[in-house]
Structure formats: C-alpha cells, structure tokens
Chain A
Amino acid sequence: MSVDRATVRRIARLARIAITDDEAARLETELNGILDWVAQLDELDTSDVAPMTRVEAMTMKKRKDEVTDGYCADDIVKNAPAVDDHYFVVPKIVE
C-alpha cells in the first residue's frame, strides 16, 4: 500500500496538523518507507490468531459507580491558554 501526496494531506487533516508543501513531500517519502517496511507482517498468517489484549489473564476491576473527585474547577482550568470564569474559551464555533 503506498501513500500519495493527497493521502498525506488527508491524514494530516484528520490528525489536525497543518503541514507545508515541503513537509508533505518529505512525509510522503518517510511514511512510504515505514509502511513498506511494516508490510513484512503480511508474511505471517494470523487468520487463526487472537489479538493480544493483556500480559496475564486478569479481569479488569470495576470500581463502584460513585463520585470520588470534584469541586476542583480552579485546578481544571489552571493551565488553560484562555479562560473565562470556569470556562475554556475557544474560537467561535457556531455562527
């Protein structure tokens, strides 16, 4: 599977990363290099293999459905680049 320039632009858009034309050209080469290399996995027949989900068989623990944290709005917005009261400020989304 090879990645063309348009695909690089499409995945950059999906990943929400602005890229220049130069970067797109460089990434096209690099991504193809990496994808060609990982294609060696096709040598393996994995049709009867289950995907690995954990190191040891262990049941994931579930905690009680109860509030364990809260009343820390100051902490939550402390590092935000733009804040109004306890709200994150973002560029206008709805006209």
Chain B
Amino acid sequence: MTHLTDLTIAEAREGLRAKSFSAAELTQAHLDAIEASNAALNAYVLPTPERALEMAKASDAKLGTGEGGALEGIPLGIKDLFCTRDVRTTACSHILDGFTPTYESTVTSNLWAEGAVMLGKLNNDEFAMGSSNETSFYGDVVNPWRRDGSDAPLVPGGSSGGSSAAVAARLCLGATATDTGGSIRQPAAFTGTVGLKPTYGRCSRWGIVAFASSLDQAGPITRTVRDAAIMLGAMASHDPKDTTSADLPVPDFEAAVGKGVKGLTIAIPKEYRVEGMAPEIEALWQQGISWLKEAGAEIKEVSLPHTKYALPSYYIVAPAEASSNLARYDGVRYGLREKGSDVISMYENTREAGFGAEVKRRILIGTYVLSAGYYDAYYLKAQKVRTLIKRDFDQAFETVDAILTPTTPGPAFAAGEKSGDPLEMYLNDIFTVTVNMAGLPGMSVPAGLSSEGTPLGLQLIGRAFDEETLFRAGQVIEDAAGPSPKPADWWSKA
C-alpha cells in the first residue's frame, strides 16, 4: 500500500469513504511527516496537531454514519494569511506578533464546513510580498526539490512558498494559498504542484490579511488538477461580507476534469516569447502546444500587445493598495508596539521594527505614488493601463477559449540568488502578473523537468469565471506529462 501521505485528495476521499483507513490515521501520518520534516523545510510556522486530531475524530464520526462533506477528513495546510479563530495568524510579519483572531476567514470556514482538517499554518513571504519565500519573519522555506547532484537549497517560490513546499513534500494533501501577482502559480511551478488562481471574486477575501485588495485572490495548491477542482469547489462561495465577491453559483468544477479539449481553441500569445527566455522554457511551451493539439484542441497565435506594461503597472497598483491596507498596523489595536516619546514616534518605531525591508520598500513606493500631486500620474495611469491589458484579453477571448504560456521564465533559483535586486526578483512574475491585472483565472500545471532536474510549469489562462476550461485543459497536460514525480526525500529525520 502506498503511504497515506502520497495519496491525492481524490484517492484519500475514496479510502476514507471505503473505510480503508480513518481520518485520524490519515491525519496522524501527516503530523508525523511534519514532525520529521519541518526542521529542514520550514514549511509550517505553526503546526496545530491537537486541533488536527480533534477535527479528524469529528470527521471519523461523520464518515461512520455515512455523512460528511466534500473534504471530510482531508488534512490541509493553511497559509498564514488566512485568519483562523483562536490560532495565531501573523502573515509571517513581526508586526502581527501573537495575533490570534477571534474570527475565521470565509474560505477556511467553507473548508471546515466541508469537513477538512487543519494541520497548521504555512509559511509565506511577509504579507505575501515576495517571489521566493525569503522575506518571512519566520525564516526561509526550503524547496524539497534540489538540482541534480547538488544539495544547495533552492527557493520554493513565493509568496505561497510554505504551501507549495508542504504539498510537494507530502506534508499535507493540499494547501490554501493566495495570489496577488503570481503567488500561487509561481511557487506551484517551482515545486511540481498544481496552483490555481481563480477569477477575482470567486473566493471571498473576508478574513484574509489584505495586501492589494483589487488583485488578491485565494486558491488551492495541490498535487493534481482534479484535487485543485475539488478544493476550489469547497473554497469558493458568494460572501455578503466581501462586496467584491461574485454573486454567481459555484459550478461543479470536478465535473469539468476529464472532459478534454476537443473543440476548444487554445491561444499562444506571441508577446510572452520574451527576450532572453531560456530555450528549455520555449521547448516546454512547444511541448504543451503539441499535447493540446494531439488531444484535439485547435491552436491559434494571438497578440496581447500590452503585456510588457503589466509588471510596471502592477508595481504601482500593488504597493499603492498595500500602503493603504498596511496603515492599520500602528501598534494600537493588535500586534507589536514599540515605545515612542509621543504617539507619532510610537507609530514610527513600531512600523520600523515590525516590517521587513521588502514590505517597507513597497509601503514607501505606495505612499509616494499616492502622495499629493502624483495620484493621476501613477495610480490612475496604472488603472488605465489595466483597462488596456484587460481589453487585450477580452479581444483574444472572442475567438479562443484559453491561453497557454509558461508559468515562469525559469526553474527554481537558489536561495539568495535574486534577493539583492528587487527589480530582478519582480521579473519572476512577468508571465503571471497580467492575469491578476485583468482579474482572470490562471492555473499552473507541472509539465516537465528542467535541465537541472527541477520542475517547470505551464500556465493556462481562462475567461472570467471560466475555471472549468482550465480544469479541462490542465488535465490534458497532466495526463500527457505523466504523474508529477516526487522529489527524493533528503529532508526527513530518521
């Protein structure tokens, strides 16, 4: 029998219903794996074993009577950006030291209502700002993947690096994540996992620590496309507590998996063939095109002429909104407080001590672009550019059903390799950020290994609220690429 931690969510669901094992056994297997692995990987910032076993026991009771939700007894990891009642939630920032919410985010409430089990809180870049999980107050997350013949630590991507590392290393069956500029899809690509950023509005943002409110969206990281469909079905809902939450029925996403791509038209945007792109990324892309073609899709080249403006406009919109959202951390109502001679210096000292370098940099950029006299030149301009980016996609989707691109310009890089230059780090999001700017759904699917032996992902972009087409095309890629290999375990303590 395979290890319980190697199961997919779909397999675990069958096993639990058939009573081949109990939710308590499944949960314990994961708790043991976390115990043995977390020192090396640092994926969890707060394992919650007692709560996990309690929830698993409750699931076993329900499963025993043939009841239970869509995720009954399924052990998941929760990114530390989701507020969890009575469980410390810090967004991996020093400024939220010890913050213990008295409420539960809508997405996690939905998961618990469907019977999921919480294994603990997962590491992420501080306030989800980063592409390598090197900005967390709780330290770097280490990618379970290594380059062939090397034991140098690689980054797991970011900001959802704890989520991607935990899913890849079998420390949970699936994980919640959030994506503002690529924070679900890029870490998924770096770890050989599936990462889905749903359409803006598909999942409620209520109770998720805010970064850039017009871009933030929650989604799953899993090991298979089907598992992503199962998890998204439980995470998504219309929520009156979030005015940007879409009042639309949640489709049966899992039903779309396996429907194939016959009759669909998939677009290849020529602007994504960027200068200096690694030949192996180009080759992977061509491979993806052939797979979809062989499965019956029609392939068409399209033009998205404003692509190159997505990243610069993102670096106005996201910091602007962050500077506003993060104004609430002032040492008064929660988290850290540093002393000052008066109330202003208390604020200044608290925020100086509480925020890391990347967060400060973005707050200052945001404050600058929103300061008197600059709003029109920066924020308004960037929001207008978003309209142009969105228009490119709208025009493309008049004749195509989905768009295929690489997820990242390259495979996972080494820790410290890009952290010296903020601009170089930002360029990692070049293929993912357009999707956030337009509010569309995007999914990264593992599609092969790099010449270094590390995972690479392909990204599928869909029409607004058409995640189903992504699941159809994603499954075709997954089937063609074969089961995503498991990284060799170097991290478990004996």
Chain A contacts to B: CB under 8 angstroms? 1, 3, 7-8, 11-19, 23, 27, 30-31, 33-35, 37-38, 40-41, 44, 46, 49-56, 58, 60-61, 63, 72, 75-76, 78-82, 88, 90-93
Contact A17 B343 (CB under 8 A): no
Q: Which residues of A contact B342 (CB under 8 A)?
A: 91-93
B138 close to chain A: CB less than 8 A:
no
Contact B343 A34 (CB under 8 A): no
- List the A side residues contacting B371 at CB < 8 Å: 11, 14
**Minimum Cβ distance to chain B for residue A14 (Å):** 5
A-B contact pairs, 5 of them (CB 8 A): A17-B364, A46-B384, A49-B388, A63-B240, A90-B332
In the bound complex, do residue A12 and residue B388 qualify as a contact, i.e. CB atoms below 8 Å apart? no
Residues of A within 8 A of B323 (CB): 15
Residues of A within 8 A of B340 (CB): 91
**Closest chain A residue to B247, Cβ basis:** A61
B residues 283-341 near A (Cβ < 8 Å) are 306, 308-309, 312-313, 315-316, 323, 327, 330-337, 340-341
Instruction: Provide the residues of chain B in CB contact with A55, threshold 8 Å.
Output: 199-201, 390, 438-440, 464
Binds A, one of B13-21, B66-74, B94-102, B445-453: B94-102
State in angstroms the CA–CA spacing of A63 and B438 once bound together.
27
Check B79 for interface membership: any CB of A closer than 8 A.
no
Complex partner residue of B384 from A38, A51, A90, CB under 8 angstroms: A51
Pair A78/B102 contact, Cβ less than 8 Å = yes
- Say if the beta carbon of B177 comes within 8 Å of chain A: no
Contacts of B309 in A (CB 8 A): 40-41, 44
| SS of A interface (majority) | loop
Q: Give the B interface residue count (CB, 8 A).
A: 70
B367: chain A residues at CB < 8 Å are: 11, 14-15
Q: Is B419 an interface residue (CB 8 A)?
A: no
**Assembly CA distance A30 to B388 (angstroms):** 28
Mask: chain B, 413-457; 1 = CB below 8 Å from A; 0 = not: 000000000110000000000000011100000000000000000
User: What A residues does B33 contact at CB under 8 A?
Assistant: none
CB of B386 within 8 A of CB of A51, answer: yes
8 Å CB contacts to A: which residues of B225-253?
Answer: 240, 243-244, 246-247
Task: For the complex formed, measure the closest distance between the CB of A2 and the CB atoms of chain B, giving whole angstroms.
Answer: 11
Tell me the minimal C-beta distance from A75 to chain B in angstroms.
4
How far is the CB of A3 from the nearest CB of chain B, in Å?
7
In the bound complex, residues from chain B placing their C-beta under 8 Å from that of A37 are: 312, 315, 423
Task: List the B residue with the shortest CB-CB distance to A60.
Answer: B243
CB pair A33 B423 closer than 8 Å: yes
Complex-state Cα separation, A79 to B90, whole angstroms: 12
CB of B231, distance to nearest CB on chain A (Å): 22
- Minimum CB–CB distance from B398 to chain A (whole Å) comes to 15
Q: Is the pair B200, A52 in contact by a Cβ cutoff of 8 Å?
A: no
Question: Given contacts A19-B352, A27-B364, A90-B343, are A81 and B440 in contact (CB under 8 A)?
Answer: no
- Contact in complex: B364, A79 (CB < 8 Å): no
Residue among A17, A52, A61, A91 making CB contact with B383, cutoff 8 Å? A52
Alpha-carbon separation in the docked complex, A50 to B388 (Å): 9
Q: Which of B308, B345, B363 contacts A15 (CB 8 A)?
A: B363
Q: Could you tell me the distance between the alpha carbons of A17 and B340 in the complex, rounded to whole angstroms?
A: 12
Measured between alpha carbons, how far is A27 from B439 in the docked complex, in Å?
31
CB distance from B195 to the nearest CB of A (A): 20
